[in-house]
Amino acid sequence: MLSVLIIDAEYGLTLDYMHCLTQVKNVKVYTICNEKNNNVKYSRYIEKFLFYPKTSSDVDVIKNINYEVKKNNIDLIVAISEYGIRFLIENKMLLNYPNKIVLLPELSYFDTANSKGLFAKHLQKFNIPAPKSILVQHFDSLDLENFKLNFPVLAKPIEGPGGGAGIILIKNINELKINFIDKKINSTYIIQEYIEGYDLGCNVLCKEGIIIEFTIQKGYLWNNKPFSYQIGLEFIYNEQVIILVKKLVKSLKWSGVANIDLRYDIKDDMLKVIEINPRYWGTLFGSYLSGVNFPYDHYMASINRKILDSKYRQIKYLTLQGFIKTLKNNIFIIFQIAFIWHNTPFKFIFLEPKLTVVRLFKIFKRFFNSLF
């Protein structure tokens, strides 16, 4: 029996993590959450939902974790969000059971991966192909006459919700001036040359800079927003992706999971690294359906157990949003029962009836509240 404690269950990817991990028999999932009625509470795959009000005291959080680990005989302590992961790394030796923390990177490497500015410098230092970038902290001090990047460029906020939110395509120097300098934007941005080409993603589990497991994905369907996340994708194999990602994770001596965004540059005929997300990713369940159970293998790597060879399959995958968008254009997809069950997370609507009802209730509640 494996008992897992998730310390930040309010984070959106918790259910995806649970849905993957609990496909293995004899797994119990305990969750600490600072939202009393979070959707996780209503999942059939949860052993116990542990509500603790949000606190700014690290001492209290450590105390709560220590208490629940001892009380519930926890085998593995897991964090899902960037904040939770950094908390575990930084406070590892303050926990009573540091040997039960899931495999994670060193703090300096985590902070490098979690900062667009530091990561851009890291790529340059290790001669890893990437788009030319500059970090801008104050746009009023930006020297437009000596601006060295070629247009068009992308302006990306250093801090943000992710998923492409806040990214702006700038076609010329005048647009840069109008959108940022004239508006006196004070937030820190990374300005990056736009690459003509297509995106690829590589999801990895590593130990001390060595890849243990991977999946590679290529999108074919997106949200309607500019620079949005993939909602329809193919899991593929690409040797050039593996070569480049091996070099990257080795340079970071990476341990744990990560999602790496790459882009194929048509002009230069080469792959380039865009960024790394030092956590689980939105298409995690798609990786499971392709044959790689990252949450369970992450556990096995954390306790130095041998990981069985994954049966990685090249498949298509649709998120629920992707399925709905596809349905609007092709009503006949509803007759592809095998595809829906094995290539989407749709089955959890039926396998999680209580959770489904709660979600629908919250949607209707928000809708009616918006009317008044």
Write down the pLDDT at residue 140: 66
Residues 28-64 have pLDDT tens digits of 999 999 999 999 999 999 999 999 999 999 999 999 9
Residue 370 belongs to some domain of the structure: no
Regarding whether 138 and 84 lie in a shared domain, the answer is no
Do 255 and 193 contact (CB within 8 A), yes or no? no
Which of 149, 175, 193 is the last residue in one of the domains? 193
From CA 84, how far away is CA 96, in angstroms rounded?
17
Q: What is the 3-state secondary structure (H, E, C) of the chain?
A: CEEEEECCCCCCCHHHHHHHHCCCCCEEEEEEECCCCCHHHHCCCCCEEEECCCCCCHHHHHHHHHHHHHHCCCCEEECCCHHHHHHHHHCHHHCCCHHHECCCCCHHHHHHHCCHHHHHHHHHHCCCCCCCEEEECCHHHCCHHHCCCCCCEEEEECCCCCCCCCCEEECCHHHHHHHHHCCCCCCCEEEEECCCEEEEEEEEEEECCEEEEEEEEEEEEECCCCCCCEEEEEEECCHHHHHHHHHHHHHCCCCEEEEEEEEEECCCCEEEEEEEECCCCCCHHHHHHCCCCHHHHHHHHHCCCCCCCCCCCCCEEECHHHHHHHHHHCHHHHHCHHHHHHHCCCHHHHHCHHHHHHHHHHHHHHHHHHHC
What pLDDT shows up at residue 369?
79
- Whether residue 166 lies inside any domain: the answer is yes
Instruction: Select from 123, 158, 193 the last residue of a domain.
Output: 193
Residues 309 and 235 in one domain: yes
Q: Are residues 69 and 167 in the same domain?
A: no
Domains contained in the chain, number: 3
Do residues 187 and 238 share a domain? no
Judge if 93 and 137 occupy the same domain. Answer: no
Question: Same domain, yes or no, for 346 and 203?
Answer: yes
Q: What is the pLDDT of residue 184?
A: 62
**Contact, 37 vs 350, CB < 8 A?**
no
150: domain range?
132-193
Q: Is residue 116 part of a domain?
A: no
Q: Are residues 342 and 214 in the same domain?
A: yes
| CATH code at position 148 | 3.30.1490.20
Q: What pTM was computed for the model?
A: 0.92
Task: Give residue 198's pLDDT.
Answer: 94
Residue ending a domain, choose from 152, 173, 193:
193
pLDDT at 176: 82
The reply to whether 202 and 346 lie within a common domain is yes
Angle among Cα 130, 204, 11 to the nearest 5 degrees reads: 100
Domain membership flag for residue 126: no
Examine the domain organization and report whether 208 and 311 are in the same domain: yes
**Phi then psi dihedrals of residue 183, to 5 deg:** -85, -5
The CA distance from 142 to 155, in Å, is 13
Q: pLDDT at position 370, please? A: 75
- Structural domain includes residue 108: no
Q: Looking at residue 224, what is its pLDDT?
A: 79
Nearest to 312 by CA among 212, 215, 219, 202: 215
Q: How many CB atoms lie within 10 A of CB 104?
A: 22
Same-domain check for residues 209 and 163: no
Give pLDDT, residue 97.
95
Mean pLDDT in runs of 10 for the chain (372 residues)?
A: 96 96 95 96 97 95 97 97 97 95 97 93 96 80 75 83 74 82 72 93 97 96 80 96 98 98 96 96 96 96 86 94 92 93 94 93 81 72
Are 237 and 141 found together in one domain? no
In a domain, 333, yes or no: yes
What CATH number does residue 316 fall under? 3.30.470.20
Residue 360, domain member (yes or no): no
Residue 97 located in a structural domain:
yes
Q: What is the CATH number of the domain that holds 8?
A: 3.40.50.720
CA atoms in the 13 A half-sphere facing the CB of 339:
13
- The answer to whether residues 160 and 235 belong to one domain is no
